[in-house]
Amino acid sequence: MTFPSADSAQTQADSPGPTPSILTPGKPIRLSKGSLVAEVQPGCGGRLARLARRDTRGDLFDYLVPLGDEPFSSDEWPKAGAFPMLPYTNMLRDDTLHWRERTIGVREAPAASSSLHGWGLRREWDVVDESPDCCVLQLDSPAQPEWPWHYQAYLSVTLDEHGVDMLLSITNLSTEDMPAGLGLHPYFRWPAGARLTFESEAIWRSPSEDIRWPSEQRVHVGAMEVVSVGGGLDTGGRSTWFAEVPSESGRFDARIDYAGGLRSVTVRSDNATWLVLHSPAGRPYLCLEPSTHRVGEFDDDHVVLAHGQTLDLSMRVDLA
C-alpha cells in the first residue's frame, strides 16, 4: 500500500478539534497473516492494540501487552499496545518549545496534564485503506495555539508471516517551516527471566526517576544485555535509558528472548537516531521506542520540514 500524495491533502471541515478527554476502544481492525494476528484501534490514537501468534492448539501468545476494551483518559492511557508519537516524541522541557525566537507552550489544557508524546496517541485517526493484512490510517491536524502548524500524518500497519512493519510519516502543510519529530511506542511483555540484547554507540541516563532528562552519558557502549526481574532496567532504579544509534551500522537491532527459548522479538529501525528503553521497576512491560530525536532536546535535535516536505519513521518487528 502507498500513502496518498501530500499535494492532494485537503483540510476538512470535520478535522480533529481539541483532544477528547476520553478515548473508547471500538470494533478493531483485525489483521491476519499465517499464524499472526493483530488488532488496530484507529479511534484510540491509531494504536496497534494487539500483536499475537496462534499456535497449533489455537492458543494465542501476545507479544505486546494487549489493550483492553474499557474507556480511558486521553491523558492517562493504558500501558499497552503500540502507539505513534508526533509531532515530537517523549516530552519537551517545561512543556515549552523555543523556535526561532518564539516561545510556544505545547501543553493542551485542560485535556492534558503534560505534553508527553504529543497528540497522535490522543486523537482519533481516520481509516483510508484496509485489507486482510494491512491498514493505513490518517490524522489531519490543523494549526492550534499549542502547535501553530498544520500537519498531516499517516500510519501503516502491515503483517506478513514473520512479523509486522509500521511506517509513520508526517507532512508539513503550513506555509512556514515546521520542526518535526516522530516515534513509535510499543509495550512488549517483559516477564521475569526475559533477556534484552542490543547495541548502542552511547547510553544516556537520567540521574533519578524524579529528573527524566538524560544527563549521564556512557560512550562507546557496544553490546548490552539486560535480564528482567519483573520490570526495571538497572540496579539504580532508573526506568529509562536513551540509546544512540550505533555509528557502524546506522540502525537499531534490539532483541527480547523469553524464558525457555521458545519465543523472541526483534525490533529494527533503519531511520531512527535514538532508541528509548523504558521499564519501570515492578511493571512487566518493556518499551523499545525508535525515535528521531532525543527527549528534551527537540529545540536543537530535530528535522525542519518546509511546506510539503515529509519525515518518515519505520519499525520492523520480527516474531518467533
**Residues 6 or more apart from 274 whose CB is under 8 A from it?**
242, 243, 244, 245, 290, 291, 292, 293, 294
Whose cell is 511483555? That residue is 189
Residue 14: its pLDDT value, please? 40
pLDDT in tens, 213-241: 777 788 888 999 999 998 888 776 778 89
> What are the structural domains of the chain?
25-319 (2.70.98.10)
Strands 252-257 and 264-269: antiparallel
pLDDT of residue 167: 98
How many C-beta neighbours within 10 Å does residue 130 have?
A: 15
Q: Which residues pair with 89 in a beta bridge?
A: none
Enter the C-alpha cell of residue 105: 507552550
Q: What is the DSSP string of 6-33?
A: GGG----TT---SPPSEE---SPEEEEE
pLDDT at residue 202, rounded to an integer: 92
- What digits encode the pLDDT tens for the residues 129-138? 999 999 999 9
pLDDT by residue for the chain (320 residues), tens digit each? 544 444 443 333 344 457 899 999 999 999 999 999 999 999 999 999 999 999 888 899 999 999 999 999 999 999 999 999 999 998 888 889 988 889 999 998 887 888 899 999 999 999 999 999 999 999 999 999 999 999 999 999 999 999 999 999 999 999 999 999 999 999 999 999 999 999 999 998 877 766 667 777 888 889 999 999 988 887 767 788 999 999 888 899 999 999 888 899 999 999 999 999 999 888 999 999 999 998 877 777 789 999 999 999 999 999 99
Question: pLDDT at position 37, please?
Answer: 97
For residues 118 and 86, is the Cβ–Cβ distance under 8 A?
Answer: yes
Q: If you ran DSSP here, which 8-state letter would residue 233 be given?
A: S
CB 107, CB 114: distance < 8 Å: yes
Which of 250, 263, 257 is CA-nearest to residue 199? 250
CA 68 to chain CA centroid, Å, is: 18
Q: Which amino acid is at 207?
A: P
Predicted confidence at residue 262, as pLDDT, reads 86
Q: What is the pTM of this model?
A: 0.92
For the CA atoms of 130, 65, 74, 21, the dihedral, rounded to the nearest 10 degrees, stands at 80
The DSSP symbol for 44 reads G
